[in-house]
């Protein structure tokens, strides 16, 4: 699992590459939370397009970051085009509370 | 009737989650599944093995056994641990229920297994362990002549 976490103004852009499961979610959680401590950051954009696998540990990870976002009065956006990832996102009910965009640009336009 | 069988034993380490799901997916690929069917199987195995590591063995060292059986166009997968067992299986299977909320678990593990596979049976005994049995029929093969 490779993850890149970048700050863009008040947004935290997180890009995933590889497989997100219980094993990899721990380090991902630490990396995101560490950067999200920055007071100027409010919104989180999760780009899941590079994921080749995700199970319910990924759902737990997204739910946890979403809660942090709400506490900071920020918004969360998901960028995804992978049908397998979409299937599990849909099942979890997350798509009812978080909008999904096909590209990072379209997500940023909607902030 | 075509039959095939495999058995895998490994330590309850989280690095083995991907190992287990990849092995079962490779075994299942002889049924010529679609990408979606293969992904469903990988996800269900990953959930069952993760449960065994976190809940069954509570991060202690133990042995997880994964067995898979192919009968015609169906695969049966069993994931077994000799861990602490589940006190109330029905409660554990409720969507969003988790016995470890502090770990940011989604509580979706059994729901994912149920949704992605055709059937799910969970047998557990407190202090003895848990056995999860799942089945899935491959539509890609049934539709072929």
* pTM of the entire predicted model: 0.95
Phi, psi (5° rounding) for residue A94? Answer: -60, -30
With an 8 Å Cβ cutoff, are A53 and B42 in contact? Answer: yes
Please, which pLDDT band fits residue B145 given cuts at 50, 70 and 90? very low
Set B105, B114, B123, B135: catalytic member: B105
How do residues B40-57 score in pLDDT, each as one tens digit?
999 999 999 999 999 999
pLDDT digits (tens, 9 = 90+) for A30-70: 999 999 988 889 999 999 999 999 999 999 999 999 999 99
Contact B37, B140 (CB under 8 A): yes
**Cβ <8 Å between B46 and A83:** no
Does A82 contact B at CB distance below 8 Å? no
Chain A residue with CA closest to B114: the answer is: A91
Q: Please determine, for residue B143, whether its predicted confidence score (pLDDT) is greater than 90.
A: no
Interchain contact A68–B (C-beta under 8 A):
no
Asked if B106 and A56 come within 8 Å (Cβ–Cβ), the reply is yes
Digit-coded pLDDT (tens) for B74-110: 999 999 999 999 999 999 999 989 998 878 888 999 9
Residues of A with Cβ-Cβ distance to B46 under 8 angstroms? 21-22, 53, 55
Interface with B, mutate which of A27, A58, A60 (most B CBs under 10 A): A60
Q: pLDDT above 90 covers what percent of chain A?
A: 93
Q: What is the spatial distance between Cα B28 and Cα B109, in angstroms, rounded to a whole number?
A: 21
Look at residue B142 in the predicted model and tell me its pLDDT: 55
- Contacts of residue B42 in chain A, CB cutoff 8 Å? 53
Q: Is B4 a catalytic residue?
A: no
CB pair distance less than 8 Å for B112 and A53: no
Residue located via tokens 């042995």:
B63
Which conformational region is residue A77 in: left (phi greater than 0), alpha (psi within -120 to 50 degrees), or beta?
beta
Catalytic residue among B16, B17, B37, B51: B51
Q: Which residue of B has its CA nearest to A58?
A: B106
A70 phi-psi bin (left φ>0, alpha ψ -120 to 50, beta other): alpha
What ipTM was assigned to the predicted interfaces of this complex? 0.94
Smallest CA-to-CA distance from B8 within B83, B68, B71 is with: B68
- pLDDT of the residue at B101: 82
B51 and A CB contact within 8 Å? no
Whole-number CA gyration radius for chain A:
13
Asked if pLDDT for residue B140 goes beyond 70, the answer is no
């Amino acid at each position: 699992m490779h993850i890149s976490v970048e700050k863009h103004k008040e947004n935290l852009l997180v890009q995933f590459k590889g497989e997100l499961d219980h094993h990899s979610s721990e380090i991902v959680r630490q990396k995101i939370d560490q950067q999200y401590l920055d007071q100027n950051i409010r919104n989180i954009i999760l780009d899941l397009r590079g994921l080749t696998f995700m199970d319910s540990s990924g759902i737990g990870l997204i739910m946890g970051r979403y809660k942090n976002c709400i506490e900071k009065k920020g918004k969360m956006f998901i960028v995804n085009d992978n049908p397998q990832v979409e299937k599990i996102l849909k099942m979890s009910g997350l798509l009812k509370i978080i909008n999904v965009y096909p590209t990072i640009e379209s997500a940023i336009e909607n902030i | 009737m075509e039959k095939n069988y495999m058995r895998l034993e490994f330590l309850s380490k989280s690095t083995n989650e991907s190992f287990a799901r990849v092995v079962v997916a490779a075994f299942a690929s002889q049924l010529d599944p679609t990408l979606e069917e293969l992904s469903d199987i990988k996800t269900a195995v990953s959930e069952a093995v993760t449960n065994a590591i976190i809940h069954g063995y509570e991060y202690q060292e133990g042995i997880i056994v994964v067995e898979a059986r192919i009968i015609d166009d169906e695969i049966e997968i069993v994931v077994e641990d000799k861990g602490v067992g589940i006190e109330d299986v029905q409660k554990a299977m409720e969507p969003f229920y988790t016995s470890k909320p502090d770990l940011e678990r989604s509580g979706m593990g059994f729901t994912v297994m149920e949704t992605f596979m055709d059937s799910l049976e969970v047998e557990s005994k407190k202090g003895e362990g848990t056995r999860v049995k799942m089945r899935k029929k491959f539509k890609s093969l049934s539709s072929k002549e």
